[in-house]
């Protein structure tokens, strides 16, 4: 087949192969109603796709998206060169291709902050959503705003040119506050328990450093619903770009690839203006916490376990890890004996069935989800995904043996990366590498030193000798454990 060299854009949509789903609404009439902070693959495979489905079904064109990258100017330019269009490649037993048109404009905060703040001040903007990862919330170990963070310190003194996501929110609110405009509402979409509550608390705290009246106004007028998001979205690779060109008859420089499954649960706030996302399958409920905890522990918790154990076994992807019979058996036992017992199931959800469905989603050869990608930011992820169920299991007298192995594997992973002089993507990377460089080979002293790193383990849990002993035992036996899986 003769391939077209034309790039995807509004005027080249007619080039697309017949099987490619195209936007059917008038994109020229699309208004910006949502500003999204964090122009990454996950937003484009998840929230933007749900919004696309609503635009298709309702023709309610007030909900176009202005997507803001923090520093990736190349991605911003590529998105805008394609008129905001890109291809969502759904990888199941077969591949399907949909051109997403819900993004009206892309900006980059590091170079276009005045434009970002001007967009946040538009009367048409009613929502701001975020996918900025756990570290983007600038929280300390207590879940409060980290006032000592360099970005937060900068924003306190320079709120009209903020660097942090929280600072951008405050700057946006500040403009609307002074102009007498209604507050926008904020939807956090990161894997953080009570993400909306924590983001609101951090936003109000930073606003209070600027103007106490502004802080009170945000607290009284802006909604920050808690949410749970789920859709496995690996980093886009060259094979995805090639698949689009081969199957769609155009060139797309910024496609995304994802699994067929996607879920979005949002705290139901009836007075909040929003797209009719329920028409696209989004669940609105008063029990986000139950779904959030279930997903964080069963999916994200086993993801972290696979990331560290698999990496130590020189396995590269989730698919390859779960197709190691011994690794899968360990994950299944971890779920059955230590993760599922730590969760109170939301009404109507069978946790065993949910866990089995997660394992089946991992067993998808079309999704190359790199373990090294999942292993990033362990100092932020492990406390939520692994240490929280450990704490609850200890209080209930349940086993923590397998969860302790996950903690030990994480420590061993940091040791291995340090010895290899390889990069560790983590906000505490320097501190962790400094600590493990001083390891003596004595499991008790080494593990105790690592667990004592500030901001990783809560003091109450660190004082629990059963927990420390369990991790020490797991770490002392980690090499033989890994050998049993190989």
Give residue 225's pLDDT: 98
C-alpha of 356 from chain center = 22
User: For 303, phi and psi rounded to 5 degrees?
Assistant: -60, -45
Q: How far apart (Å, rounded) are the C-alpha atoms in residues 206 and 144? A: 10
Q: Say how many C-beta atoms besides its own lie within 10 A of residue 390's C-beta.
A: 26
Closest CA to 11 of 253, 254, 250, 247: 250
**Where are the CATH 3.40.50.720 domain residues in the chain?**
10-286
For the segment 232-245, the average pLDDT, to the nearest whole number, is 94
Residue 422 has pLDDT above 60, yes or no: yes
Percent of the chain with pLDDT over 90: 97
Residue 1 has pLDDT above 50, yes or no: no
Q: How far apart (Å, rounded) are the C-alpha atoms in residues 57 and 102? A: 13
Residue 417 has pLDDT above 90, yes or no: yes
pLDDT tens digits, one per residue of 278-325: 999 999 999 999 999 999 999 999 999 999 999 999 999 999 999 999
Q: Is the pTM of this model over 0.85?
A: yes
Q: How far apart (Å, rounded) are the C-alpha atoms in residues 397 and 390? A: 10
Q: How far apart (Å, rounded) are the C-alpha atoms in residues 70 and 36? A: 11
Closest CA to 241 of 256, 229, 228: 256
Residue 2 has pLDDT above 50, yes or no: no
Give residue 325's pLDDT: 98
| Four-residue CA torsion sign, 407, 143, 296, 102 | negative
pLDDT tens digits, one per residue of 156-185: 999 999 999 999 999 999 999 999 999 999
Percent of the chain with pLDDT over 70: 99
Per the listing, tokens 């998808």 go with 364
Give residue 293's pLDDT: 96
Give residue 3's pLDDT: 46
Q: Which helix (H) or strand (E) holds 33?
A: strand 32-37
Q: Copy the structure tokens of residue 143.
A: 């879940």
Assigned CATH class of 289-485: mainly alpha
Q: How far apart (Å, rounded) are the C-alpha atoms in residues 242 and 244? A: 5
For helices 388-396 and 401-419, angle between their N-to-C axes, nearest 10 degrees: 150
For the segment 458-475, the average pLDDT, to the nearest whole number, is 98
Contact call for residues 439 and 401 (beta carbons, < 8 A)? no
Give residue 360's pLDDT: 98
C-alpha of 325 from chain center = 28
Q: Copy the structure tokens of residue 299.
A: 């999916």
| Four-residue CA torsion sign, 42, 47, 50, 51 | negative
Per the listing, tokens 């929230």 go with 47
- 3-class secondary-structure state, position 235: coil
pLDDT tens digits, one per residue of 58-108: 999 999 999 999 999 999 999 999 999 999 999 999 999 999 999 999 999
Give residue 5's pLDDT: 62
CATH of 10-286, one of 3.30.70.270, 3.40.50.720, 3.30.70.20, 3.20.20.70: 3.40.50.720
Q: How far apart (Å, rounded) are the C-alpha atoms in residues 12 and 115? A: 28
Q: How far apart (Å, rounded) are the C-alpha atoms in residues 288 and 299? A: 16
Q: Copy the structure tokens of residue 101.
A: 């048109």
Contact call for residues 407 and 386 (beta carbons, < 8 A)? yes
Q: Say how many C-beta atoms besides its own lie within 10 A of residue 239's C-beta.
A: 10
Kind of pairing between the strands at 227-230 and 263-267 = antiparallel
Q: Copy the structure tokens of residue 62.
A: 């007030």
Residue 24 has pLDDT above 50, yes or no: yes
pLDDT tens digits, one per residue of 111-165: 999 999 999 999 999 999 999 999 999 999 889 999 999 999 999 999 999 999 9
Q: Which helix (H) or strand (E) holds 86?
A: strand 86-91
For the segment 192-218, the average pLDDT, to the nearest whole number, is 98
**Where are the CATH 1.10.1040.10 domain residues in the chain?**
289-485
Contact call for residues 175 and 196 (beta carbons, < 8 A)? no
Residue 234 has pLDDT above 80, yes or no: yes
Give residue 141's pLDDT: 84
Give residue 92's pLDDT: 94
For helices 325-334 and 351-362, angle between their N-to-C axes, nearest 10 degrees: 150
């Amino acid at each position: 087949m003769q391939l077209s060299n034309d790039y995807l854009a509004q005027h080249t949509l007619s080039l697309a192969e017949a099987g490619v789903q195209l936007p059917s609404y008038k994109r020229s009439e699309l208004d910006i109603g949502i500003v999204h902070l964090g122009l990454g693959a996950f937003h484009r495979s998840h929230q933007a796709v749900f919004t696309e489905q609503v635009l298709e079904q309702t023709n309610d064109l007030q909900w176009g998206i202005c997507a803001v990258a923090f520093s990736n100017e190349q991605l911003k330019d590529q998105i805008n060169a394609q008129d905001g269009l890109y291809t969502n490649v759904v990888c199941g037993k077969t591949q399907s291709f949909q051109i997403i048109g819900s993004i009206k404009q892309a900006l980059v905060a590091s170079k276009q902050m005045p434009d970002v703040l001007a967009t946040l001040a538009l009367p048409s903007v009613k929502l701001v959503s975020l996918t900025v990862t756990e570290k983007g919330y600038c929280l300390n170990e207590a879940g409060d705003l980290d006032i000592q963070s360099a970005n937060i310190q900068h924003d306190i003194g320079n709120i009209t040119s903020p660097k942090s996501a929280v600072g951008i929110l405050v700057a946006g609110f500040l403009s609307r506050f002074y102009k007498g405009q209604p507050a926008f509402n904020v939807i956090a979409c990161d894997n953080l328990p009570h993400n909306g509550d924590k983001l609101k608390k951090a936003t109000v705290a930073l606003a209070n450093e600027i103007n106490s009246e502004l802080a009170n106004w945000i607290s009284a007028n802006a909604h920050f619903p808690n949410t749970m998001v789920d859709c496995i979205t690996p980093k886009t690779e060259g094979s995805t770009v090639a698949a689009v060109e081969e199957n769609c008859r155009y060139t797309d420089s910024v496609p995304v690839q994802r699994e067929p499954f996607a879920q979005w649960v949002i705290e139901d706030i009836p007075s909040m203006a929003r797209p009719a996302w329920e028409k696209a399958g989004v669940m609105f409920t008063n029990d986000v916490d139950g779904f959030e905890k279930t997903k964080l522990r069963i999916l994200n918790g086993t993801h972290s376990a696979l990331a560290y154990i698999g990496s130590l076994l020189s396995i590269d992807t989730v698919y390859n890890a779960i197709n190691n019979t011994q690794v899968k058996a360990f994950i299944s036992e971890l779920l059955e004996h230590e993760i599922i017992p730590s969760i109170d199931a939301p009404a109507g959800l069978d946790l065993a069935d949910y866990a089995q469905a997660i394992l089946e989603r991992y067993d998808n050869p079309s999704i190359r989800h790199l373990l090294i990608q999942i292993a990033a930011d362990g100092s932020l992820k492990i406390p939520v995904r692994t240490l929280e169920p450990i704490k609850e299991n200890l209080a209930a007298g349940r086993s923590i043996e397998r969860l302790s192995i996950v903690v030990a594997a994480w420590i061993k992973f940091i040791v291995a990366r340090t010895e290899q002089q390889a990069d560790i993507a983590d906000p505490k990377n320097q501190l962790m590498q400094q600590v493990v460089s001083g390891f003596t080979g004595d499991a008790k002293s080494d593990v105790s030193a690592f667990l004592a790193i500030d901001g990783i383990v809560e003091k109450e849990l660190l004082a629990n000798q059963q927990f420390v002993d369990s991790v020490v035992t797991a770490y002392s036996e980690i090499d033989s454990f890994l050998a049993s899986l190989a």
